[in-house]
């Protein structure tokens, strides 16, 4: 919500008229720390709509740097790498082969503090063991990932 007005951040197609319970989900990714307000708008086939109650979600600032194990691992061909940074700063996230050659640069930019998910598609790489390294401020961490085709 900005200036008291809600904006559209996504759309999920419904399953039509049904008497069975339906579950829907949408993820608002890479939010900055703070309080975020959401509401849903249900639109029927005839164009009528109904708004849900407003809910607020608190996104906290991480208290430490961290690099999580990618998931899934082993993977084919894509995986997700999560990391958190407690302060604004320049961040790099790179993938290396077992010989130390850089095979992918996933993040190379200034970031605000927060928790981030990075999707890595390794379809152009061969099966094998790779390493990913996060560098932010004085923090450096490396983890192993396994690509199995």
| Domain at 66-147, CATH from 3.90.1640.10, 2.60.40.1930, 3.30.930.10, 2.40.10.410 | 2.60.40.1930
Question: Residue 43 CB: number of other CB atoms within 10 A?
Answer: 11
Q: Which of 2-6, 41-45, 58-62, 83-87 has the lowest mean pLDDT?
A: 2-6
Residue 12 has pLDDT above 80, yes or no: yes
Q: Can you say how many angstroms the Cα of residue 88 is from the centroid of all Cα atoms in its chain?
A: 18
For 52-107, what is each residue's pLDDT tens digit?
Answer: 999 999 888 889 999 999 999 999 999 999 999 999 999 999 999 999 999 999 99
Residue 3 has pLDDT above 90, yes or no: no
pLDDT the model gives residue 1: 64
Question: Residue 46 CB: number of other CB atoms within 10 A?
Answer: 6
Length of the chain in terms of residues written:
149
Residue 125, both tokens? 């790489």
- What does the alpha-carbon distance between residue 10 and residue 29 come to, in Å, rounded to a whole number? 11
CA distances from 38 to 33, 55, 78 (A): 15, 5, 30
């Amino acid at each position: 919500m900005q200036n008291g007005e809600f904006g559209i951040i996504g759309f999920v197609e419904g399953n039509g008229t049904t008497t069975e319970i339906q579950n829907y989900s949408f993820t608002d990714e890479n939010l900055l720390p703070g309080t975020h307000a959401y509401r849903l708008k249900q639109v029927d086939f005839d164009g009528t709509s109904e708004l849900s109650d407003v809910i607020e979600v608190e996104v906290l600032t991480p208290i430490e740097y961290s690099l999580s194990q990618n998931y899934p691992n082993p993977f084919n061909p894509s995986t997700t790498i999560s990391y958190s940074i407690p302060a604004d700063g320049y961040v790099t996230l790179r993938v290396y082969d077992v010989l130390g050659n850089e095979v992918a640069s996933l993040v190379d930019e200034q970031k605000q503090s927060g928790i981030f998910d990075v999707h890595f598609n390794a379809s152009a790489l061969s099966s094998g063991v790779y390493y990913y390294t996060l560098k932010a401020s004085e923090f450096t961490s490396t983890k192993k990932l396994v690509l199995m085709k």
